[in-house]
């Protein structure tokens, strides 16, 4: 009788203990995942600040170089470029002020850096104004000023900020790992309270986490790629072109932008239907991708409009070679739902820096060249320089 009573007491106690353990695990998991998410956000914020500081450093070097170029040639256009670059530096400082407004030590470093930069560019501005009003001789005869020392001080301050941010980033990454480790310890410490139940919860959490990661990955892919063809969309094209232009400026490479649309696509779409038209677009995308190098970009902007960005060119003629190859590949017959169809394409080509030094200018001039090619009879390419 006593044994039965003890059993009846032990079973509820065990159930309550298991329930408490499960609730404890759930609370611990919720707390740790929440803290890990916060740590992840802090890691991202630190990475963004480091990137902003590096952009600021590059823009200061660009402004310094532009000012020196103006002192040499005195061209008003160069002076205007210098003014714009100084404006970009001020914008970066505004971004940094917003990013570090709640971080006392970093805010102080930023204020000190702003003071150094203000003194440096006040001296540069005075020198630029002297060059603009009195000429090169006035600059040569004037005081040299603490230019080198100022730039060294600015560079040192920036490196100190980056070092501090990297230290914070490393600590936050370590904190994220500690939270993950704490979750694992919590899970194993209560496993004895109910191995089967805990295993179910752990598996559920693991699936939930993987589903979230998969959903975020899929959302990121959809945000940067065309849903029909899987090619990069305008957003991803802009990002890659910005990187290619920056590299081209630094290393003196040529960048080519090719705009193309399909000649005869509407006829095929109307004849065979929209499903066949979608399949045709996917086949065109596949042929274009096969015709390009791995580091080139082919994007679909919508409808039957595509853009190709060719990076790291040392020879302008490569762009026309690719255009001829594209025209040949696209013009080959297609098998659509057991029926043969034929289309063509026209291509407009713009080259950096000859036809523009921004994404907008290159795309605009390539599009203008495209219409020139279509007006000339389609199934051919045209260069922006020749079309202007």
Q: State the sign of the Cα–Cα–Cα–Cα dihedral 318, 322, 328, 329.
A: positive
Cβ–Cβ under 8 Å, residues 327 and 379 = yes
Domains and CATH numbers, the chain: 2-193 (1.20.120), 234-387 (3.30.70.270)
Please choose, from the candidates 200, 71, 75, 192, the residue with its C-alpha nearest in 3D space to the C-alpha of residue 125: 71
Longest dimension (CA), the chain: 113
Q: Which of 226, 263, 304, 355 is catalytic?
A: 304
As a whole number of angstroms, the distance between CA 48 and CA 332 comes to 47
Q: Is residue 10 exposed (0-12), middle (13-18) or buried (19+ Cβ within 10 Å)?
A: exposed
Chain center to CA of 360: 17
Q: How many CA atoms lie within 13 A of 384 on its CB side?
A: 22
Strand partners, 306: 260, 300
φ and ψ at residue 262, rounded to 5 degrees: -95, 125
Please choose, from the candidates 58, 161, 157, 162, the residue with its C-alpha nearest in 3D space to the C-alpha of residue 115: 157
- 304 in catalytic set: yes
Please choose, from the candidates 186, 181, 126, 175, the residue with its C-alpha nearest in 3D space to the C-alpha of residue 150: 126
What is the 3-state secondary structure of 10-74?
A: HHHHHHHHHHHHHHHHHHHHHHHHHHHHHHHHHHHHHHHHHHHHHHHHHHHHHHHHHHHHHHHHC
pLDDT of residue 312: 85
Cβ–Cβ under 8 Å, residues 337 and 345 = no
Cβ–Cβ under 8 Å, residues 221 and 288 = no
The series of mean pLDDT values per 10 residues for the chain, 388 residues long, is: 47 61 68 67 73 79 79 79 82 78 70 77 73 60 59 75 74 72 66 65 68 72 84 92 91 92 91 91 94 90 92 87 94 89 94 92 94 90 79
Q: What is the pTM of this model?
A: 0.47
As a whole number of angstroms, the distance between CA 101 and CA 108 comes to 10
As a whole number of angstroms, the distance between CA 176 and CA 36 comes to 5
Q: Is 342 left (phi over 0), alpha (psi -120 to 50) or beta?
A: beta
């Amino acid at each position: 009788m006593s044994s039965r009573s003890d059993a009846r007491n032990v079973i509820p106690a065990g159930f309550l203990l298991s329930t408490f353990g499960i609730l404890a695990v759930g609370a611990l998991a919720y707390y740790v995942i929440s803290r890990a998410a916060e740590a992840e956000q802090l890691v991202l914020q630190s990475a963004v600040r480091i990137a902003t500081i590096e952009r600021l450093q590059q823009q200061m070097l660009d402004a310094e170089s532009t000012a020196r170029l103006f002192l040499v040639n005195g061209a008003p256009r160069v002076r205007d470029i210098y003014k714009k670059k100084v404006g970009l530096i001020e914008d970066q400082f505004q971004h940094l002020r917003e990013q570090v407004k709640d971080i006392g030590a970093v805010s102080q470093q930023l204020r000190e850096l702003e003071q150094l930069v203000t003194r440096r560019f006040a001296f540069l501005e005075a020198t630029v104004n002297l060059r603009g009003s009195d000429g090169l001789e006035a600059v040569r005869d004037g005081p040299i000023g603490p230019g080198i020392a100022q730039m060294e001080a600015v560079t040192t301050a920036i490196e100190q900020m980056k070092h501090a941010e990297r230290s914070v980033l490393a600590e936050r990454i370590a904190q994220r790992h500690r939270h993950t480790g704490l979750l694992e310890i919590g899970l194993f410490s209560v496993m004895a309270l109910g191995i089967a139940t805990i295993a179910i919860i752990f598996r559920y959490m693991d699936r939930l986490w993987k589903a979230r990661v998969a959903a975020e990955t899929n959302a990121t892919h959809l945000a940067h790629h065309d849903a029909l063809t899987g090619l990069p969309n305008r957003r991803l094209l802009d990002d890659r072109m910005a990187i290619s232009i920056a590299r081209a400026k630094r290393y003196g490479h040529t960048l080519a932008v090719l705009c193309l649309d399909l000649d005869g696509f509407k006829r095929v779409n109307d004849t065979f239907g929209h499903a066949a038209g979608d399949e045709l677009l996917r086949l065109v995308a596949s042929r274009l991708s096969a015709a390009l190098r791995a580091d080139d970009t082919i994007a679909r902007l919508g409808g039957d409009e595509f853009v190709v960005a060719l990076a790291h060119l040392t020879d302008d003629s490569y762009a026309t070679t690719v255009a001829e190859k594209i025209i040949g590949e696209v013009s080959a017959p297609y098998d659509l739902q057991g029926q043969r169809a034929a289309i063509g394409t026209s291509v407009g080509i713009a080259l950096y820096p000859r036809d523009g030094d921004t994404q907008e200018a290159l795309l605009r001039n390539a599009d203008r060249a495209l219409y020139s090619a279509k007006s000339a009879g389609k199934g051919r390419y045209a260069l922006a320089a020749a079309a202007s």
